[in-house]
Amino acid sequence: MTNDQHGLAMTGAGAAAVRHYDRAIDELLHLRVEVDAETNAALAESPDFPMGNVLAAYLGLLTTDVEDARAARERFSVFLRRVDEASLLPRERAHVAAVGALLGGDWLTCGRLLGEITVEHPRDALALAAGHQVDFFTGDARSLRDRIGGALNAWRGTGISAMCWACTPSASRRRATTTGRRRSDCGRSS
């Protein structure tokens, strides 16, 4: 068992896969295209890495490209045939269930499951990012604001830019500006 950069336990990954996964999450949070290359590198190192496969599934399924979604569905199906879900950690199983809901077209259940993960593990950046995306696509303005706002206290100067971004579309521009000015990473250009 290993831990990601936020201290969350993960199974099925060697050190190199974890490094690629951590970089992929950073790329995702900064909306950089390198997220795909880092995710693929993590899975090349450890093909049965649950969180790597979950990340790849979210990336493919939360896109507007039909071919990306098809490829993600196939890749995740192959992963599920190879893995014993009972051997996964509870957080990993919850992500697998959220991806399953998304694969079944149940965006609301996916969003709810990601919200439960965030309550239990507020430093799960993937649950926050994927949940935020689901909230956007489903038009859930309250969750767009509250999902990240509820996890804010668990973050120590990192991820605050996501809070600023989340507050802005929900008409909380004053709070976003105030939070951003208090945290150095909100205005960081990267």
Q: Which domain holds residue 91?
A: 2-144
Q: What is the DSSP string of the chain?
A: -EE-TTS-EE-S--HHHHHHHHHHHHHHHTT-THHHHHHHHHHHH-TT-HHHHHHHHHHHHTSS-HHHHHHHHHHHHHHHHHS-GGGS-HHHHHHHHHHHHHHTT-HHHHHHHHHHHHHH-TT-HHHHHHHHHHHHHHT-HHHHHHHHHHHGGG-SSSSHHHHHHHHGGGT-HHHHHHHHHH-GGGS---
What pLDDT shows up at residue 180?
52
Is residue 119 assigned to a domain? yes
Residue 156 lies in a domain: no
pLDDT along the chain (190 residues), means of 10: 94 97 94 95 97 98 93 97 96 98 96 96 94 94 84 65 49 52 45
Look at residue 131 in the predicted model and tell me its pLDDT: 96
- Please report whether residue 139 resides in a domain: yes
Plot region of 7 (φ>0 → left; ψ -120 to 50 → alpha; else → beta): left
Count up the domains in the chain and report the number: 1
pLDDT score, position 19: 97
In the block, tokens 């990340």 appear at 55
This prediction has a pTM of 0.83
On whether residue 59 sits in a domain, the answer given is yes
- Asked if residue 185 belongs to a domain, the reply is no
Quote the pLDDT of residue 43.
Answer: 98
Residues 54 and 95: beta-carbon distance below 8 Å: yes
| 29 phi-psi bin (left φ>0, alpha ψ -120 to 50, beta other) | alpha
Examine residue 172 and state whether it is found in any structural domain, yes or no. no
pLDDT score for 148: 80
